[in-house]
Chain A
Amino acid sequence: MLSKRIIPCLDVRDGKLTKGIRFRNNIDIGDPVEAAREYYEQGADEIVFYDITASSDRRDIMIDVVRRVAETIFIPFSVGGGIRTVDDMREVIMAGAEKISINTEAVLRPPLIFEGARAFGSQCIVLGMDVKKVPVHGKTPSGYEVVTHGGRTYTGIDALRWAKEAEALGAGEICLNSIDADGTQGGYEIELTHLISTNVHIPVIASGGAGKPEHLLDVLTRGKADAALIASIVHYRTYTIYEIKSYLKRHGVTTRMIW
């Protein structure tokens, strides 16, 4: 059966990791290519890069990172951040990324999902969604609202409605990030993940809140997620990917253990 995927997420600014990543011997790694290699060796099933470079005229730096990553690791990886057009997508895909992640850009202009899926296939297009819990009311019947710009802008769009719309437009996957859980290391938003995952027919990657292996177990079983995104839990070397996977395996989750 299909294994549940464990996906480390790396934030990159101007070609450097925004947070130092601590590996063996407490060496601080600031190079995203080296970090990708390390996670590939540790058994990551996929890797996500978010380019948070503020200036769009420095995009070529990220393209160079993508190219070097593609020469180093031989598993799928996705790139998100600042991708606004099909041409932007093409550049990243030709540099070697398997998938493109779009978030705010898709909210501002939903046809971008369709255009990307038509040009490269749905399997290339990941919709990133940042979501916050809100009171249930007319505009947000699911009790979850889509936010953009890292959680600063409320869109008035219901999260469940947006997930279904994105699927209909051709998104191949949803990366669902709970702004409430993000950075807390207190566990994923199980209710939200379950709601979205059981209402769309495309894979859902849960994001935000991983602090210990139990949290991944919870979101992959009760939350019905197909994959789990992790950041601090591995960046600060609280756990290795292998330790997390071994834990999941012991608790009956199908996970890839040989690489």
Chain B
Amino acid sequence: MIGIIDYRAGNLTSVVRALNHLGESCRISDDPITLAQSSHIIFPGVGAAGEAMANLRRTHLDKWIIEWAHAEKPILGICLGTQIIFDYSEENDVQCLGLIPGAVKRFSTNLTHDGSDLKIPHMGWNYVEFRKAHPVFRGLPEGSEFYFVHSYYPVPAQNDLIVGITDYGTSFCAALAYKNVVAVQFHPEKSGRPGLTILSNFCRWGG
């Protein structure tokens, strides 16, 4: 059973639909006791870091996620979920879970490409260059692109945590792995077949 953490951060049903399509059973919950029965945890989310952290603290899910990760069970962060597992986010100037050393920064407003200003949020399909082999990112065709929607991006304190990088006027970390934690800035549930491959790999990964 895959547990999906519900912390009132956007619509989580697209993750459920993708998992159903893959034949994985899953449930959305905000209850630590229910979530604790899972084999794997997905930490998705769309929204702002400040409100997300407030909701996690209110439901004590913040402590529970840290315990889960420290028990070395597999956890996958997606988009806002990825940002929240860092120490700190510039969005709403908020302290986050601190599972991964590093910070989340806002895209600079003066990014350009070929002389044109780049728009923020970074929204659409972009290429991820995978620099390191990892079981969760196995079997992706060369040239695979993924769907992004975000204005902030993660900056891990240690470069060796970075698995994949993406270019949007600046290079940023789009995928990372640290022990039993994997995290992506893009939306695998909306990234066609390559995205489904990542979700499927994660469900089979022992952490």
Residue numbers of A with Cβ under 8 A of B are: 1-3, 5, 40, 45, 70-71, 74-76, 93-94, 96, 98, 120-123, 172-173, 201-203, 224, 226-227, 256-259
Q: From B109, which residue of chain A is reached at the shortest CB distance?
A: A201
A163 to chain B, nearest CB (A): 14
CA distance A76 to B188 in the complex (A): 11
B residues 161-207 in Cβ contact with A at 8 Å: 167-168, 189-196
Question: Is the Cβ of B13 less than 8 Å from the Cβ of A96?
Answer: yes
CA distance A65 to B106 in the complex (A): 37
Given A1-B168, A40-B192, A259-B193, output 8 extra A-B contacts at Cβ < 8 Å: A1-B127, A3-B124, A5-B125, A45-B124, A121-B47, A123-B121, A203-B119, A258-B141
Question: Is the Cβ of A98 less than 8 Å from the Cβ of B190?
Answer: yes
Query: Residue B99 at the A interface, CB < 8 A?
Result: no
CA distance A201 to B111 in the complex (A): 12
Residues from chain B with Cβ under 8 Å of A257 in the complex: 143
Residues from chain B with Cβ under 8 Å of A1 in the complex: 113, 126-127, 167-168
Query: Residue B123 at the A interface, CB < 8 A?
Result: yes
B112 to chain A, nearest CB (A): 11
B interface residues, tally (CB under 8 Å): 40
Residues from chain A with Cβ under 8 Å of B13 in the complex: 70, 94, 96
- Report the stretch among B14-22, B67-75, B86-94 that lies at the interface: B14-22
* Chain A binding surface, main DSSP class: loop
Q: From B143, which residue of chain A is reached at the shortest CB distance?
A: A258
Query: Counting chain B CB atoms within 10 Å of each CB, which of A71, A76, A257 scores highest?
Result: A76
A6 to chain B, nearest CB (A): 10
Residues from chain B with Cβ under 8 Å of A74 in the complex: 17-18, 21, 189-193, 195-196
16 A-B pairs (CB sep. < 8 Å): A1-B167, A2-B118, A2-B125, A2-B168, A3-B124, A3-B127, A40-B192, A74-B17, A74-B193, A74-B196, A123-B121, A202-B119, A226-B124, A258-B194, A259-B192, A259-B193
Residue numbers of B with Cβ under 8 A of A are: 10-11, 13-14, 17-18, 20-21, 46-47, 113, 116-127, 141-145, 147, 149, 167-168, 189-196
Decide yes or no: A203 and B190 within 8 Å by CB, A94-B13, A258-B144 being known contacts: no
Residue of B17, B121, B149 touching A96 (CB-CB under 8 A): B17
B107 to chain A, nearest CB (A): 12
Question: Is the Cβ of B143 less than 8 Å from the Cβ of A71?
Answer: no
A41 to chain B, nearest CB (A): 10
Q: From B10, which residue of chain A is reached at the shortest CB distance?
A: A121
Question: Is the Cβ of A93 less than 8 Å from the Cβ of B124?
Answer: no
Question: Is the Cβ of A3 less than 8 Å from the Cβ of B126?
Answer: yes
Question: Is the Cβ of B116 less than 8 Å from the Cβ of A224?
Answer: yes
CA distance A183 to B113 in the complex (A): 33
Q: From A204, which residue of chain B is reached at the shortest CB distance?
A: B119
